[in-house]
Chains A and B, each alone.
Chain A
Amino acid sequence: MKSANVSHEEFEGLAMPLLDALYNFARWLSRDQAEAEDLVQETFFKGLRGFDSFTPGSDFRAWMFRILRNTFLTSRTGLQAKLTVQLDAEEEGSVGVTWETPESLVLASATREALQSAMDSLPLRYREVILLCDVEEMKYQEIADVLSVPIGTVMSRLARGRKMLRQVLAGERSVFAAAGKSSEPR
């Protein structure tokens, strides 16, 4: 057991550099500034309190992101999002790149704002996996640890999420309806 003093300093040294990334993730999940700030503060509180159970040398970033995501899922907004997602059966197996819309054309017209609004329109399950992979640049194994799902699920959600993004960007906004999805309550 680490002494409270040492573990506090160690925790801060590891956790403070993650503040921006954790807040960014929290804000994308909750879509609300005050809620995201509370989530981050609670994540740090829980992280420090449970720091003794963290295995030195293991992935601290994944550990903190997992705490944040679990905290979010038990919040009111998180529960709403989770309920909605449960209506949408998990689609396993790989989803290949579809070639109907050339990506270069999609991207050429996609401004930063268009990308952000497209990401925001994705259901939580796909939004979070794209954030962890493309924004946080986590490895599949790390993402699987954060989300507590098998790597295969990470891969299929990523492929599906990216496909939805391309479709949204290409203007096929009926994608959710066509695929039988319901978007989350805002």
Chain B
Amino acid sequence: MSCTEWQSRLDAYVDGELPAPEMETFRDHAVNCSHCAAAALALMEMKGALRRAGRRYPASPELRTRVLASTMTTSAGARSRAAKPKAGPSSVLSWPGWVMAAAAVLLLMAGLLFFAKRYTQPAALGEFADLHIATLASANPVEVVSNDRHTVKPWFQGRIPFTFDLPDLQGSPFTLTGGRVAYFHQEPGAHLLFAYQRHLVSAFIFRDTPQLAIHRGSFSNRETSFNLRTWTQDGLRYVLVGDVNAASLRQLADLWQQHPR
């Protein structure tokens, strides 16, 4: 094969796409042809330089959180066959009418179920589960993005009318991903998000009020497959919500109660 013929195959050679016998033949040719050898080498260098230059935009931690949250919400919606506000970015409006109608019917049914269950489960806890789902569906689930509790805790100064402690998570399977201000019955409080494996857990902290007087500490909601855990500490009501199992929620609650900082 002549140099001119090889020229048209150099791209395939440097991409490792020539059939094995042709790869060999080219190598034999290149031993005696400095022109082709130099061209192949230059193409390889160019390929390497492009690879390095092309990896230009890493995904931000915010996007990672958004994507995780939206896949979780999509999946939770599929599991419970209930219509949650899914995180289909900018696509909700393009859903066909029958989907929206079905969603409305399911929401109504979910609402009826909610009222049917309110005598067995404090209504307040259902609202925390709703807050959790709505946050995961949001494009920006957290307002302060950090895994450093010494960044997240001070962020709440001046935003909520109390202060709270965050657990030391070193060596535990949980990581803090950030926080936001949440409102419950017109009362501002802290909403923190923790990652556990590929799950996200919400922690809500509010000043304890009579509406929040809950006697049992742990609940699970079979309709949405969410678990909840709650306790009070120093006049504050803590509520954990997530689709992790009850034992994992207890582990996070224990970390919080045992190692307050």
Please tell me if the beta carbons of A103 and B39 are within 8 angstroms of each other in the complex.
Answer: yes
A102 to B43, CA, bound (A): 10
Please tell me if the beta carbons of A45 and B10 are within 8 angstroms of each other in the complex.
Answer: no
Binds B, one of A54-62, A81-89, A104-112, A177-185: A104-112
Contacts of B87 in A (CB 8 A): 41, 45
Contacts of A134 in B (CB 8 A): 47, 50-51, 54
| A75 shortest CB reach to chain B, Å | 9
Please tell me if the beta carbons of B39 and A99 are within 8 angstroms of each other in the complex.
Answer: yes
Contacts of B70 in A (CB 8 A): 41, 44-45
Please tell me if the beta carbons of B79 and A5 are within 8 angstroms of each other in the complex.
Answer: yes
Binds A, one of B25-33, B56-64, B127-135, B148-156: B56-64
Query: Which residues in window 1-54 of A have CB below 8 A to B?
Result: 4-5, 8-9, 11-13, 15-16, 19-20, 22-24, 27-28, 33, 36-38, 40-42, 44-45, 48-49
Contacts of B49 in A (CB 8 A): 107, 110, 112, 115
| B188 shortest CB reach to chain A, Å | 29
Query: Which residues in window 85-133 of A have CB below 8 A to B?
Result: 94-97, 99, 102-104, 106-107, 110, 112, 115-116, 119, 130-131, 133
A107 to B46, CA, bound (A): 7
Please tell me if the beta carbons of A9 and B55 are within 8 angstroms of each other in the complex.
Answer: no
B67 within 8 A of A: yes
A133 to B66, CA, bound (A): 28
A139 within 8 A of B: yes
Please tell me if the beta carbons of B45 and A104 are within 8 angstroms of each other in the complex.
Answer: yes
Please tell me if the beta carbons of B75 and A4 are within 8 angstroms of each other in the complex.
Answer: yes
Q: Which residue from chain A places its CB closest to the CB of B38 in the assembled complex? A: A104
Please tell me if the beta carbons of A140 and B54 are within 8 angstroms of each other in the complex.
Answer: no
Q: Which residue from chain A places its CB closest to the CB of B36 in the assembled complex? A: A97
Please tell me if the beta carbons of B50 and A115 are within 8 angstroms of each other in the complex.
Answer: yes
Please tell me if the beta carbons of B59 and A19 are within 8 angstroms of each other in the complex.
Answer: yes
**Chain B 1-42 near chain A by CB (<8 Å), digits 1 or 0:** 000100110111001010000000000000000000011011
Please tell me if the beta carbons of A140 and B15 are within 8 angstroms of each other in the complex.
Answer: yes
Please tell me if the beta carbons of A4 and B78 are within 8 angstroms of each other in the complex.
Answer: yes
Please tell me if the beta carbons of B68 and A155 are within 8 angstroms of each other in the complex.
Answer: no
Please tell me if the beta carbons of A40 and B63 are within 8 angstroms of each other in the complex.
Answer: yes
Q: If A8-B71, A41-B63, A103-B46 touch, does A159 touch B11 (CB 8 Å cutoff)?
A: yes
B157 within 8 A of A: no
A44 to B54, CA, bound (A): 22
Please tell me if the beta carbons of A112 and B39 are within 8 angstroms of each other in the complex.
Answer: no
Q: If A24-B56, A28-B57, A110-B49 touch, does A104 touch B42 (CB 8 Å cutoff)?
A: yes
Q: Which residue from chain A places its CB closest to the CB of B17 in the assembled complex? A: A140
Please tell me if the beta carbons of B8 and A48 are within 8 angstroms of each other in the complex.
Answer: no
A162 within 8 A of B: yes
B210 within 8 A of A: no
B198 within 8 A of A: yes
B211 within 8 A of A: no
Contacts of A8 in B (CB 8 A): 71-72, 74-75, 78-79
B90 within 8 A of A: yes
Q: If A40-B67, A107-B46, A116-B53 touch, does A24 touch B58 (CB 8 Å cutoff)?
A: yes
Query: Which residues in window 74-112 of B have CB below 8 A to A?
Result: 74-75, 78-79, 86-91
7 nearest CB pairs, A to B: A103-B42, A135-B54, A8-B75, A115-B53, A23-B59, A96-B7, A27-B57
Q: List 25 A-B contacts (CB under 8 A).
A: A8-B74, A8-B79, A15-B71, A19-B63, A19-B67, A24-B55, A24-B56, A37-B60, A41-B67, A42-B91, A44-B67, A45-B88, A45-B89, A97-B39, A97-B43, A103-B39, A104-B41, A104-B42, A107-B49, A112-B52, A135-B54, A139-B17, A140-B12, A158-B15, A162-B46
